[in-house]
Structure 1
């Protein structure tokens, strides 16, 4: 009832339809998203005639296939419609356990409904379906202070254009971690989402029209994902990032949307996201091979 299909033999229309109809859709699982990250180095476990799917990205080491969670792809797992059987989910999980797995992240819904084996990791989300006033009331006092302080400055926000080159120049200039990641791949996934009209780049400018900070927000059905952000550290701009995030939340509230901060294992970042009254949701990361 569950079979493994290579990327080359995948029925793309059926796969995409299954994903779109799933209760736990993630843009990370789109075929074009995975193709951009890993090429055709992914298989898929398919239940019956694409009633449920589980994409499995891999790398090859010395001819051995290792399941590995790609960069810029927080959650995968089993994608299915409502009233999905726990027994069938466990069959998917057993198939995964028989493979060599460096890392594989199940999505939040899989984790909450079926408790797969693995380490729980933190994501943080904010339901922004309420009015902005209700959302703002639940921000921390410090977050409100940052937003109010910057509201008196001559700051301007623009989301009408893209400047990917400036973004990556700033990333390399101001952030040491940029030396540890594949920037060309990151740029490629951003450009792919721009081509598909799947993301927005927000800019915050000072009164001299100098960019203070910028954020990429990725659309994923009923959630918008804070994919990446940078700040111009040559400019003193305390609280300006809070001002920009506040604008993005205000710009998208009153809709059936979840704002996905993508979480962090760093306590300071967790605390910052918590200051927006975000909710902790766990996703499970499984591995059986170092």
Structure 2
């Protein structure tokens, strides 16, 4: 039996225990990450006594609840000790019946008896850094060999959102408008304040020319954003700082590129030779959402 729990009804100890011991474990489904990215606008579907769980984030528009993954939250879905198609199908049926779904992404381990739309993500699993580096494409290896002048006048450093905000804001790609950009920066700041986000910068001649926003917990490092000064793209600062973070963490943690459907970004990620991991999604048009809203009422 599947139950639908509001946020204040969730047993977070049982939820966390189920998530952390699940086959599908994702950092993006942790309470900390979901609370920050959704502003605690999420609830939970529970199978049995937290044998399987499915977090559902939402927004409200003119009083109507619409399911949509929060910003920076790539995958949610069903979490259980072992992925089970029958149980996943039950969640999917309940989900479709009870919710108005705009966009929801399951995780890359979730399997269903019916085909769903798929999207791409890229992961590097824990291994010795030397082994990981050896797998990089020839082009990526060349990019990481900085010439003497660049190497002499550059450095990698960690910084704070407040110190890099002007650079990030000026080189932010993907936000709809300034309000949307401000919301992303607010989420970054809140994740940083939680102790789980780092801003890593490539500095050339005392000037920041690349930064990445990286979320980290005990099992995963996730690339939440890359910000590049286009005037210095040939210096390969983005490749250098991503490689730096991989080198520091890959022996113990998954490196999650967070995927992309943009061909140029996908090509860039593939240069690190990650594993392609497809994940199922439900995506509906505004027309479909309106039609479902009328049915629910």
Show the counterpart of 1:187: 185
C-alpha deviation, 1:234, in angstroms: 5.2
User: Which residues in structure 2 correspond to 1:202-217 (within 5 Å)?
Assistant: 202-206=200-204, 208-217=205-214
Aligned residues: 282
1:148 to 132, 145, 148: 145
TM-superposition CA deviations, 1:4-62 (whole Å, max 9, x none): 00112222222222222222222222233323233343221011222221111122334
Distance (whole Å) between structure 1 residues aligned to residue 184 and residue 263 of structure 2: 25
Distance (whole Å) between structure 1 residues aligned to residue 217 and residue 119 of structure 2: 20
Is 2:186 the partner of 1:225?
no
User: Which residues in structure 2 correspond to 1:79-228 (within 5 Å)?
Assistant: 79-82=79-82, 84-98=83-97, 99-110=99-110, 113-114=111-112, 117-129=115-127, 131-150=128-147, 153-154=151-152, 155-159=154-158, 162-175=159-172, 177-180=174-177, 182-206=180-204, 208-228=205-225
TM-superposition CA deviations, 1:75-125 (whole Å, max 9, x none): 00011113x432222111111111221111001111xx4366431001011
TM-score, length-scaled by structure 2: 0.85
SS at match of 2:118: strand
Distance (whole Å) between structure 2 residues aligned to residue 166 and residue 178 of structure 1: 20
TM-superposition CA deviations, 1:236-277 (whole Å, max 9, x none): 65212112222222222333x221111111111111111111
Is 2:266 the partner of 1:267?
no
TM-superposition CA deviations, 1:206-252 (whole Å, max 9, x none): 2x332222212112443211111212345565212112222222222
Distance (whole Å) between structure 2 residues aligned to residue 49 and residue 193 of structure 1: 30
C-alpha deviation, 1:134, in angstroms: 2.2
Across the aligned residues of Structure 1 and Structure 2, the Cα RMSD in angstroms comes to 2.3
TM-superposition CA deviations, 1:168-203 (whole Å, max 9, x none): 312322345345372333223223322332232222
Judging changes above 3 Å, is the alpha-carbon distance between structure 1 residues 215 and 151 closer, same or farther for their aligned structure 2 residues?
A: farther
Judging changes above 3 Å, is the alpha-carbon distance between structure 1 residues 133 and 11 closer, same or farther for their aligned structure 2 residues?
A: closer
Distance (whole Å) between structure 1 residues aligned to residue 96 and residue 132 of structure 2: 42
Residues 107 and 280 in structure 2, CA contact (< 8 A), matched pair in contact too:
yes
Judging changes above 3 Å, is the alpha-carbon distance between structure 1 residues 116 and 34 closer, same or farther for their aligned structure 2 residues?
A: farther
Distance (whole Å) between structure 2 residues aligned to residue 28 and residue 116 of structure 1: 25
Show the counterpart of 1:279: 275
SS at match of 2:276: strand
Structure 2's unaligned 5+ residue stretches are 290-297
Structure 1's unaligned 5+ residue stretches are none
SS at match of 1:103: strand
Show the counterpart of 2:240: 243
Residues 139 and 275 in structure 1, CA contact (< 8 A), matched pair in contact too:
yes
Distance (whole Å) between structure 1 residues aligned to residue 106 and residue 181 of structure 2: 25
